[in-house]
């Protein structure tokens, strides 16, 4: 799997503009305006690709605050569903040490 394929997968979980979403400052500024679904998608992007760590933590805080305020959106279940829908990335230490093989393994 190539990086282009990973970007295509990210778009399928409704990232309409990858560059804009990848700007953590933009996320941090607008987090209160994001839907529950969008917050879950940012958390999934962190768990799956290891990106947007600070934004994912802020999203978890926001979802927690919404739950305390009475929101009943099942975000734990939705995060698990999104993660389960993504293909597994299989990279072992040998693959990382030999970048020529990396593209064939992902």
pLDDT tens digits, one per residue of 58-92: 999 999 999 999 999 999 999 999 999 988 877 66
What would the DSSP string read from start to end of 41-97? Answer: HHHHHHHHH---HHHHHHHHHHHHHHHHTT----HHHHHHHHHHHSPPP---HHHHH
pLDDT tens digits, one per residue of 2-35: 666 666 666 665 545 555 555 666 777 788 889 9
How confident is residue 106, by pLDDT bands cut at 50, 70 and 90? very low
């Amino acid at each position: 799997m190539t990086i282009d394929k990973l970007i295509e997968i990210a778009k399928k979980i409704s990232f309409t503009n990858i560059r804009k979403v990848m700007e953590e400052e933009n996320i941090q500024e607008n987090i209160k305006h994001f839907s529950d679904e969008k917050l879950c998608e940012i958390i999934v992007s962190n768990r799956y690709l290891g990106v947007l760590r600070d934004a994912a933590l802020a999203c978890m805080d926001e979802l927690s605050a919404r739950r305390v305020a009475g929101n009943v959106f099942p975000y734990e279940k939705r995060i698990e569903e999104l993660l389960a829908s993504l293909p597994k990335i299989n990279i072992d230490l040998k693959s990382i040490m030999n970048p020529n093989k990396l593209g064939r393994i992902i």
